[in-house]
Amino acid sequence: MLRAACFLMILMCVALSAAAQPAELVVQSPAELEPAVAALYAALGGTDTLTFADEAAHIVVTGEPDAAALDTVYFLPDVALALQADSDAARQLMAFAVSPDGQQVLIDLGLLPAVVTVTDQAGFTVDIPQPVRGVVSPYSLVTYMVYVVGAGDRLLAAGFLGARDPQGAAAMERIDPRFPELAASDMNQNNANVEEIARLAPDVIFSSARADWLEPVDQLGIPIVRFEGESIEALKDGVLLTGQILGPDAAHRAQMWVDYYDRVVSEVVAISSQVETPVRVLFTGTQPTRVASGEMYQSAVIAAAGGVSVTSELTGYWNDVNLEQIALWNPDVILVPPYGGASVEAITENAEWQLLDAVRNRAVYRVPKLVAPWDTPTPDSVLGVIWLAELLYPDLFQLDCPAETRYFYNTFYDYAISDEEIAMLCSQP
């Protein structure tokens, strides 16, 4: 009995001794960046012992993360924290390093700039103090860019195209539970409450270059960045501009999205360019006889998917035409947007439209959206290119809309999209 009691005492002492040992966070880093990592961890208030070593590291500081990394964030331009072994302390350090508080630590060390100067898409030079902690984005298209670069938690108020219907609103709230609060001010491209913006005191305002409320808001002295997005290049530049403003990790995610968009479009064009007779497409607006001009992004999506927009010679924004003109175009496919009350039935159930081949062939389709419509100059529109290419040329393309949709929302919105949502988005009539 005595020997057994002594043995139990020894076991208890060993357990207590092990429990008393402080946990360790091991980081592998170039020597010149160890002070920065240590400063970040000190500012975070981490309780584990921070150790720098070349083996058994939880995090590797590197310019070229390998495929074995579980997660990667860029806390400096072209320098990443790559998670090698999962631990709470490691994930906390990585999240802090790319947060505004972490950026401030790096600014104080002289490793990040205190001011970022950009030229916006209206040609204005704008100085933006860093870090950006609060963003107001009345321009709905840019709101989604903020999410895609990983800075949705910095939004204070925003416009949300595609979230005015119950389904879109519910989806947006699943993506970001703060959505009802962010949308409460009812800001959009045509409306911004100056008093509310003053109360929120954001670090930057993201606006359409065409907004007519800019002058009174400009009096607040808050940096305004103007966006213009009616082309593929303007969309890509807008995403990169958003990332540039919001820090190194946001800039990296922006470039990731641009690379993804370029890859998708190049794959589609490589196949669709071989089509001898491209499908002729009409994109209608909120009314069946309101059509997208050739200067609008919708026509760019049609072209990227290998189709030909029958309205490509029209200029400006939405154009109102008559049915006689549409009959002369006689498109093979008609697309209807998922906003503004537009519906497929408004065309297919109208007797006057029955003279069109597209209507008789039941080739009238509603463009998908989860929240951001896939036809608009938002990051989600890369999926619109995939969906439309498969729709126009089902025998040529095997792009796997479901797989790409899952990858896109998981990667760029950090949203675990459901199988039901994917089926709804990618289903072909």
Strands 71-76 and 79-83 come out as antiparallel
Q: In whole angstroms, what is the distance from residue 122 CA to residue 225 CA?
A: 8
Residue with the larger pLDDT of the pair 427 and 232: 232
Residue 6 has pLDDT above 80, yes or no: no
So where are the chain's domains?
A: 23-108, 115-256, 276-426
Cα separation of 27 and 322, whole Å? 67
pTM of the entire structure?
Answer: 0.91
- Classify domain 23-108 by CATH architecture: 3-Layer(aba) Sandwich (3.40)
268: left (phi over 0), alpha (psi -120 to 50) or beta: alpha
Average pLDDT, stretch 346-374? 95
The 10 Å Cβ neighbour count of residue 340 is 13
Q: Which amino acid is at 173?
A: E
Beta strands 24-28 and 59-62 are parallel
Q: How many CB atoms lie within 10 A of CB 266?
A: 10
Q: Is residue 424 over pLDDT 70?
A: yes
CA dist., res. 399 & res. 390, Å (int):
7
pLDDT value at residue 22: 59
Query: With contact defined as beta carbons under 8 Å apart, do 116 and 130 qualify?
Result: yes
pLDDT of residue 428: 65
- Give the CA angle between residues 126, 127, 132 to the nearest 5°: 110
* Two domains, one topology: 115-256 and 276-426: yes
* Token pair 């089902």 in the structure block, residue: 394
Residue 6 CA to residue 427 CA, distance in Å, equals: 70
Q: What is the rounded distance in angstroms from the CA atom of residue 391 to the CA atom of residue 377?
A: 20
The answer to whether the beta carbons of residues 106 and 96 sit under 8 Å apart is no
> How confident is the model at residue 188, as a pLDDT?
79
Q: Which two tokens stand for residue 345?
A: 């039935």
- Report the first-to-last Cα separation within the chain, whole angstroms: 79
How large is the greatest C-alpha to C-alpha distance in the chain, in angstroms? 104
Whole-angstrom Cα Rg for the chain: 26
Q: What is the pLDDT of residues 371-381, one digit of tens each?
A: 999 999 999 99
Q: What is the pLDDT of residues 285-301, one digit of tens each?
A: 999 999 999 999 999 99
Say yes or no to pLDDT of 333 above 60: yes
* SS3 label, residue 263: helix
Burial of 57 (0-12, 13-18, 19+ CB in 10 A): buried
The answer to whether domain 276-426 has CATH 3.40.50.1980 is: yes
pLDDT computed for residue 353 by the predictor: 95
Which parts of 77-198 are beta strand (E)?
Answer: 79-83, 115-119, 125-129, 135-137, 155-158
Q: CATH says 115-256 is which class? A: alpha beta
For β-strands 59-62 and 79-83, DSSP reports them as antiparallel
